[in-house]
Amino acid sequence: MTEPSSAPAARVTGAGFDALFFASVAAVMAALARIAFFTPIEATQGAAQKIYYIHVPAALSAYLALIVMALMSLVYLWLHDDRADRMAESAGEVAFVFTTAVLVTGPLWGKPVWGAWWTWDARLSLTLFLWFITAAYLVLRGAVDDVRMRARYSAVLAVLAALLIPFIHLSVYLFRTLHPMPIVLKPELPSLPPEMLTTFAASTLAFLFFCGMLLRVRYRLALIRRLSEELA
């Protein structure tokens, strides 16, 4: 099942960076400004704790992109719809960006708090493993020439990547780890003061909005590439 070749040219070749994308960038910049200038410094961890408002929203954005990648992969395996495969590939690239952001901000936060850039505990190791799987997904997309075979193999790897998400979230409960327990995403009430909780909520919404717009732009690019191939 493929997209109709009669799709309106404007829908395919329209500008990828539109007002919504720039609005998402502005939302992230506003969130960063609130983090830097309008959020109180945590008493124990100091200014380093402010990385939390970037680290966790980046992780949630990575999870969102990975879930989209897995769901679209399942749709492709079921319906063999090329649009689902293109959306999965787009989500994989976005997930790789945000997972990289998680692995960069984590050590920047951990060094002043733990005294070490990295520890091989369960949460960190599983996140690194997820990063490698996402990277392998993207490498696989460029290594297999047969379109159908590439889509099938990639879909299976995408589903396996998404299955890691619950294990990563629960790892702090299942294993001894230096990584702190969740202080917002937990069954009990959040442990953050109201000002910090507001910052966390605003940053999370901004990052998820930005993630959604990156997915949208990347999928538009995939459509433009497909049109170019048809016209070549």
How buried is residue 153: exposed, middle or buried, by Cβ count under 10 Å (0-12/13-18/19+)? middle
Q: What is the pLDDT of residue 180?
A: 77
Q: What is the pLDDT of residue 16?
A: 64
In a domain, 6, yes or no: no
- For 202, phi then psi, to 5°, come to -65, -45
Q: What is the pLDDT of residue 48?
A: 93
Q: Which residues of the chain have pLDDT under 70?
A: 1-16, 186-187, 232
Q: What is the pLDDT of residue 127?
A: 96
Say which residues have a Cβ less than 8 Å from residue 74's Cβ, sequence separation at least 6. 155, 159
In a domain, 151, yes or no: yes
Q: What is the pLDDT of residue 55?
A: 97
Comparing CA positions, the residue from 177, 222, 191, 203 lying closest to residue 101 is 203
Domain count, the chain: 1
Give the 3-state secondary structure of residue 60: helix
Q: Read out DSSP for 76-143?
A: HHHH--HHHHHHHHHHHHHHHHHHHHHHHHHHHHHHHHHSSS----HHHHHHHHHHHHHHHHHHHHHH
Say which residues have a Cβ less than 8 Å from residue 194's Cβ, sequence separation at least 6. none
Q: What is the pLDDT of residue 187?
A: 67
Q: What tokens were used for 182?
A: 């969740």
In a domain, 12, yes or no: no
In a domain, 8, yes or no: no
Spatial separation of the C-alpha atoms in residues 121 and 126, rounded to whole Å: 8
Q: What is the pLDDT of residue 101?
A: 98
pTM of the model: 0.89
In a domain, 2, yes or no: no
Range of the domain at 175: 17-37+46-231
In a domain, 195, yes or no: yes
Q: What is the pLDDT of residue 9?
A: 46
In a domain, 5, yes or no: no
How is the chain split among helix, strand and coil, in percent rounded to 5? 75, 0, 20
In a domain, 51, yes or no: yes
Specify whether the CB–CB gap between 29 and 22 falls below 8 A: no
